[in-house]
């Protein structure tokens, strides 16, 4: 088992990539905090994990609230004794708005969840990792954090920021035994589109040529395999970087 006796927190774990990551980590021996705003969905994931002989606990968390993030990390420590792996996966989409159509409140909400939520969890976990002299952070970014035409301006900017935060953290704490990497998924079959509000006709039209050359849609389990590699000792020399998992989509650009 690649993660035997490790303790992991996975946000956005009630569905999609987060669910697949939580389930795979548990099958590889990790004790998992399944964190999500949807507590019922998180508990269903926990039930599945425990039915298969794994260990997991559901925690309701709104990553836009520091008190929720604090409780999530504290629950990992109080329940399982420590924290080894933090996976910041929770996120929402924009409506493909270009900059001329951005609303302040929508910008603030997306950044609060996609970017500040990541920062909040990292900030809370860092003292634990520093005391242990080791720790592992994995952030779900996006090919939209590398390219300009995979979503709207707000989502793209929020994920560019996550990549910058990842690279800075990987470098800053490299000599403290802490690694921080990101995954940039391309098109993956998840329910993130449910968070899209009032899709912008101009923005979606401009992205059609790029979306049209997607080789195929990936599955959450394929992203989970990347997250397992980054969480395991097999990636011990991988730090401060972004692993693109998009089936070859962005290789064309």
Among the listed residues 25, 80, 155, 173, the single catalytic one is 155
Does an H or E element contain 96, and which?
Answer: none
**Helix residue ranges per DSSP H, 90-219:** 104-111, 117-132, 153-172, 201-211
Indicate the DSSP class of residue 230. H
User: Quick check: is 171 catalytic?
Assistant: no
> Virtual CA dihedral for 141, 144, 148, 149, nearest 10 degrees?
180
Of the chain, the end-to-end C-alpha distance in Å amounts to: 38
Indicate the DSSP class of residue 188. B
Beta carbons of 32 and 54 less than 8 angstroms apart = yes
Calpha distance 85→232 (Å, rounded): 9
Classify burial at 175, counting beta carbons within 10 Å of its beta carbon; exposed 0-12, middle 13-18, buried 19 or more: exposed
Calpha distance 231→19 (Å, rounded): 16
In 3D, which of 180, 171, 175 has the Cα closest to residue 139? 180
Provide the annotated active-site residues: 155
């Amino acid at each position: 088992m690649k993660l035997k006796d490790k303790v992991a927190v996975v946000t956005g774990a009630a569905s999609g990539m987060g669910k697949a990551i939580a389930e795979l980590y548990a099958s590889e021996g990790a004790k998992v905090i399944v964190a999500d705003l949807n507590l019922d969905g998180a508990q269903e994931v926990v039930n599945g994990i425990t039915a298969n002989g794994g260990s997991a606990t559901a925690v309701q968390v709104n990553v836009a609230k520091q008190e929720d993030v604090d409780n999530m990390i504290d629950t990992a420590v109080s329940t399982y004794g420590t924290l080894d792996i933090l996976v910041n996966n929770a996120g929402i989409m924009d409506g493909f708005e270009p900059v001329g159509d951005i609303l302040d409140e929508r910008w603030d909400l997306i950044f609060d969840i996609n970017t500040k939520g990541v920062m909040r969890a990292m900030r809370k976990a860092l003292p634990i990792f520093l005391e242990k002299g080791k720790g592992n952070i994995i952030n779900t970014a996006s090919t939209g954090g590398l390219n300009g035409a995979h979503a709207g301006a707000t989502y793209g900017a929020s994920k560019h920021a996550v990549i910058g935060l990842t690279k800075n953290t990987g470098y800053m704490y490299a000599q403290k035994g802490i690694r921080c990497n990101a995954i940039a998924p391309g098109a993956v079959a998840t329910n993130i589109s449910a968070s899209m509000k009032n899709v912008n006709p101009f923005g979606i039209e401009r992205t059609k040529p790029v979306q049209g050359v997607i080789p195929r849609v990936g599955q959450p389990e394929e992203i989970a395999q990347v997250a397992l590699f980054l969480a395991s000792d097999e990636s011990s020399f991988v730090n401060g970087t972004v692993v693109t998992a998009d089936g070859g989509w962005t290789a064309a650009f």
